[in-house]
Amino acid sequence: MQNKQIVVIGSGFAGLSAATYLASATSCSVTLLEKNDSPGGRARKFEHQGFVFDMGPSWYWMPDVFEDYFAHFGKKPADYYDLIRLDPSYAVVYGENDVLDIPADLGKFKEMLDQIEPGAGVQLDKFLAQAKYKYQVGIHDLVKKPSRSLLEFVSPSLLVDMIKMDIFQSMSKHVRKYFSHEKIIRLMEFPVLFLGETAENIPALYSLMNYADIALGTWYPKKGMHEIIKGMVALAEEKGVKIRYSAEVDTIEVVDGLAKSVRLKSGEIISAEIIVAGADYHHVDRHLLDSKYSNYSEFYWDKRVMAPSSLLFYLGINKRLKNLRHHNLFFDEPLGPHADAIYTHPRWPEKPLFYASVPSITDPTVAPEGMENLFLLIPLAPDLEDSEEMREKYFGIIMDRLEKISGQEIRSHIVYKRSYAHTDFKSDYHAFKGNAYGLANTLLQTAILKPGLKNKKVKNLYYTGQLTVPGPGVPPSLISGGVVAREVIKENNL
């Protein structure tokens, strides 16, 4: 093995994962460059007068993915953070006095479904059986493929698997094969929102998300999601990764088809023999590289179906809240005939879906005593015109609904408020069109049809993260770092 210089750009889940795999498996010198002054990318945190806010991801699903990650290095999640399984997993709000608390216990969950639709419990067993199969094949096999050639997917057993994975049927039609009550349908379709599209446009392959939700459960790391990042940073540094903050890359210098160095905004030049870009793929492809070395044209990027952006509110409340759970999904307004507008059409929705998280219900350390930490999220189409006036308008819309449904006054008890939307995603992460979740997992943006993990014109430049394989979300990003690291090691004989 040779002592090469590897530079990884971006300290989100994918960047930290890639850097740690590379430092652990090789004798290379690995430097991780982070634009912001703290690690985590979208999973950063901030604090204000005793309130501790996770800035982005708030759901801990697929615990086995985290276990597998740390186990690779002889560790376990418990070495870095303590997990609590939430019960209820979350609440689904259909309207005033119409709320479902989703129990963690599978038997109780089936009983709840039977009360809504007789026989739905039996149907759930059938639904989960196929979802479990997809999860086992998908998460433990397919998502770990680099997706650089169709040949990766050509084997008799895998072809059988692909047929059984329902990749050509929509999630919407798939769910309706098992259930007919609209409440259950919306409940079963909800997890694919994490993949950036409506159920009509997501392959039924992703019922694997339902298995993750119902069978594997919803968890919470004490002190917040950023504890995962904190643990990953500790592990990376233990393996020898050098992490530099406030080190934004301005240019990737390429000579004769090889990336030779990165130039920081400060003017500093850092030599590299291999570069792994965990920053926004479009930004790297179109702005850090000379255009002649871009993998994809601007036309290509404009035609991609992006996952949503979000309007977020971080609120400090000077009292305890009632009638809310740790996670609360507000489906109190019908989606209507133009549901996909939330994701694809650049206009603000009339009646937005929204999500409320109150982690201080589970964890008193994230808010001052007697107070509450409230996080609100509205999914929105990317590339919207984002203004303070629109943020306030939508804050009013969802607060009206939140206060009415939970039966309490909240606005007059707000002692801290911060909003975050498209312009912030762009300025903090160079997020393409201000997206929050990356590239939507539509059929035509799956596996080899995603932006490739290696630059086609620069021999030693690779990509990782939510805009390449396997896709958006925290567990896929964690996996993405391992996928690209294996390719780097294999191709460079490290």
- Candidates 468, 462, 477, 2; CA nearest to 275 is 462
Rounded to an integer, what distance in angstroms lies between the CA atom of residue 271 and that of residue 85? 45
Chain centroid offset of residue 242 CA? 25
Rounded to an integer, what distance in angstroms lies between the CA atom of residue 349 and that of residue 242? 44
User: Which of helix, strand or coil describes residue 276?
Assistant: strand
Q: Report cis status (omega within 30 of 0) of the bond before 308.
A: no
Rounded to an integer, what distance in angstroms lies between the CA atom of residue 382 and that of residue 346? 7
Is the pLDDT reported for residue 295 higher than 60?
yes
Is the pLDDT reported for residue 199 higher than 60?
yes
Per-residue confidence at 1, pLDDT binned at 50, 70, 90? very low
Is the pLDDT reported for residue 342 higher than 50?
yes
Rounded to an integer, what distance in angstroms lies between the CA atom of residue 173 and that of residue 265? 49
Is the pLDDT reported for residue 430 higher than 90?
yes
CATH topology of domain 5-82+223-303+440-491: FAD/NAD(P)-binding domain (3.50.50)
Widest Cα–Cα separation across the chain = 67
Is the pLDDT reported for residue 72 higher than 90?
yes
Per-residue confidence at 400, pLDDT binned at 50, 70, 90? very high
190-194, 251-255, 350-354, 411-415: least confidently modelled range = 190-194
User: Which of helix, strand or coil describes residue 450?
Assistant: coil
Query: For the chain, what is the radius of gyration of the CA atoms?
Result: 22
Is the pLDDT reported for residue 345 higher than 80?
no
Rounded to an integer, what distance in angstroms lies between the CA atom of residue 492 and that of residue 56? 35
Rounded to an integer, what distance in angstroms lies between the CA atom of residue 178 and that of residue 208? 15
CATH node for 306-429: 3.30.519
Give the burial class of 155: count Cβ atoms within 10 A of its Cβ; 0-12 exposed, 13-18 middle, 19 or more buried: exposed
CA angle 140, 145, 149 (to 5 degrees): 150
Higher-scoring residue by pLDDT: 305, 425: 425
Q: Report cis status (omega within 30 of 0) of the bond before 470.
A: yes
Domain ranges in the chain? Answer: 5-82+223-303+440-491, 110-216, 306-429
Rounded to an integer, what distance in angstroms lies between the CA atom of residue 332 and that of residue 341? 18
Rounded to an integer, what distance in angstroms lies between the CA atom of residue 158 and that of residue 388? 50
- Candidates 57, 68, 5; CA nearest to 31 is 5
Rounded to an integer, what distance in angstroms lies between the CA atom of residue 309 and that of residue 410? 25
pLDDT at site 166: 82
Q: Are strands 219-221 and 249-255 parallel, antiparallel or unpaired?
A: unpaired
Q: Which two tokens stand for residue 161?
A: 């698997």
CATH node for 110-216: 1.10.405
- Candidates 70, 91, 35; CA nearest to 326 is 91
**Other beta carbons less than 10 A from residue 97's beta carbon:** 7
219-233, 276-290, 345-359, 443-457: least confidently modelled range = 345-359
pLDDT above 90 covers a percentage of the chain that reads 84
pLDDT above 70 covers a percentage of the chain that reads 95
